[in-house]
Amino acid sequence: MMFSMANHGCRTKSVYGGGVVIFLAGIIGVYGEHASAAENLTFVIDPTQSTLVASGTLAGQAIKTFPLGSSSGIGLTTSYRGSINATWDEVANSLQITGAQITAQDNAVQFSFPSNSTPDCYAFFISPFGISTSTFGEAFSGEIRSLSFSIQSPIVTNPQSFDTSLMTGAILGGQLDRTFTTYTLPSLTPTGEFDGTDSLGGNLSFGSNLASLSSSTEAETLTLPVATHINIVIGDGPAAGSILSLQLSGAIVATTATPEPSALLVLAGGSLFFLTRRRFA
């Protein structure tokens, strides 16, 4: 569509105003659709801000690690990497976590489990363990390897602050490599050793903590405090049938680039400027 103007005998010029209107309508329509539709996001976990500390017991005795005898040293502290998938609806102000791959990184502490020399993510021991006398002792050492888990949640409104107990999870993989050692006292001479491996699995629940979704001009940041536990049944050996109860606590922090629909308005403004340059001679 075009319209014409006459001005005191000047020649009539055509201005394609309708084209401008149609173009801007298209831009605004695209922007409106982008702003109102739910969007699938991938949050990338930041290992420098994502650490879970392990604690636990076996047959009522607390696990320890290095520094020697510490209950929260480097052998029980591990950072995490991976990604979290979510659906974000800006208009409804809602978020749903739809899945994740959260993986423990390798640890610096290793007990050199006889049948597996690969790095571990948690390493711990109990000594003395079980029956101990003035001439006889027993020790337990364990290493968690290749631990990973997923999480999900229902649709959460006002995700700028929400309760982590809404989340559920599942162990995706992992194993406990363990050794029971007997020795004489006071010489600490080994008299026997029993090695074994137990697989990790099952569902996870999370304690009540305050999670958050924050936004900036550059990224969305998802902060998830974690308090969960894993029960591992010892399959054989001196403590067969006993449960190693592990608690994991800390936080997972992940970020994703923020979509910038405002760029569309910049494009519209630039195009409008170009079209309006077609002025009357």
Asked whether residue 75 is domain-assigned, the answer is: yes
Residue 109 lies in a domain: yes
- Predicted confidence at residue 68, as pLDDT, reads 63
β-bridge mates for residue 126, sequence order: 140
List, run by run, the mean pLDDT of 10-residue segments along the chain (281 residues): 45 46 46 64 97 94 78 85 96 96 87 65 86 76 95 97 98 94 82 91 97 92 98 91 96 81 45 46 48
- Domain assignment present for 130: yes
Amino acid in position 66: F
Dihedral of the alpha carbons of 134, 60, 248, 161, in degrees to the nearest 10: -140
- Rg for the chain, CA atoms, rounded: 30
So what's the pLDDT on residue 9? 47
Residue 275 lies in a domain: no
> With 0-12 CB in 10 A as exposed, 13-18 as middle and 19+ as buried, what is 154?
exposed
The pLDDT, as a whole number, for residue 138 is 85
Residue-level pLDDT at 53: 96
Q: For residue 22, tell me if it sits in a domain.
A: no
The parent domain of residue 51 ranges over 40-259
Does 231 map to a domain? Answer: yes
**Counted domains in the chain:** 1
Q: Are 37 and 27 in contact (CB under 8 A)?
A: no
Residue 173 lies in a domain: yes
Q: What is the pLDDT of residue 31?
A: 46
Interatomic CA distance for residues 243 and 232, integer angstroms: 6
pLDDT of residue 91: 93
Q: Is residue 201 part of a domain?
A: yes
